[in-house]
Amino acid sequence: MSGLEVELRYRVLRPPYLYRWAVLLSVVVLAIAAMVSVFTSAEGTPTPAPPPATAPAAAPATAAASADLVRGTARTGKFVALTFDDGPDPVYTPQILDALTRAGAVATFCMIGANVTRHPELVRAVLARGMRLCDHTVSHDEDLGKRTEQRVTAEIAGCWSDLQVAAGADVPVPYFRAPGGSWTDLIRDVAARQGMKALSWSVDSRDWTLPGAAQIVTTVQRTVQPGAVVLLHDGGGKRAQTVEALDQLLPWLVAQGYQFDFPA
């Protein structure tokens, strides 16, 4: 074959070879695309990133904390529970104890830790008369519900400790009463953790407004009923009106057939 013939043949065959390479390249590209498609199908649609985990639900309150506030007496029937807040006071607490003893009555004293440390002998006197103790915080902070858990715990546990020290022995403190009756879930939960029931009231004598002994008597007489828990005060101010009112109320309650009990 001459050189010219070879050159002509090369020119004739060149386009088909280029075409074949192009076809081969296309096949390879399609094969790769198919493999990617199969792999994607096998793997499925990429799983979206999980949403941020929500904060865990708050732990349920303890049974004691979620229960209703104590507003009734331990026994059913014609019983009444007298409670005295904000003491002990060296002037009025002894007078109230004497009035209760004369009537054969029992009561619960909701004490402030700051007063307990000043007058530990009065804590012992209250216990010696057969009365019960109630934790009323260290400082009677009526904004306690706005404080941190650490502060709430310090106020409640601190008063409990003050009562133990003042009593000079391990003594039960079955109740806690929030200052001003301002309850929150946190306050009730902390009290429950300390082993105390949340003590409220069903009759407010309003003696803290100093309305006069006669008005204190009238308020209680109009609102008392079997199972009532009555709010009175032996501290936090001048309580001569309360002492005078008790001298009338206690005989009246007995005449009405009431007996004296502790809160539930």
CA within 13 Å, CB half, 80: 24
Q: How far is CA 7 from CA 13, 15, 184, in A?
A: 10, 14, 103
Of 85, 135, 162, 189, catalytic:
85
Q: Which of 162, 207, 233, 261 is catalytic?
A: 233
Six token digits for residue 114? 């700051």
* Both structure tokens of 47: 């799983």
**What sections of 129-232 are H helices per DSSP?**
149-167, 185-193, 213-223
Nearest to 256, CA basis, from 63, 18, 111, 80: 80
233 in active site? yes
Count the Cβ atoms, other than its own, within 10 Å of residue 6.
10
Rg (CA), the chain: 41
Catalytic site residue 68? Answer: no
Tokens at 110, concatenated: 């909701």
Q: Which amino acid is at 106?
A: V
Contacts of residue 111, Cβ cutoff 8 Å, sequence gap at least 6? 87, 88, 123, 133, 134, 135, 136, 159, 163, 235
Residue among 150, 195, 189, 199 at smallest CA distance from 61:
189
Catalytic residue numbers?
85, 233
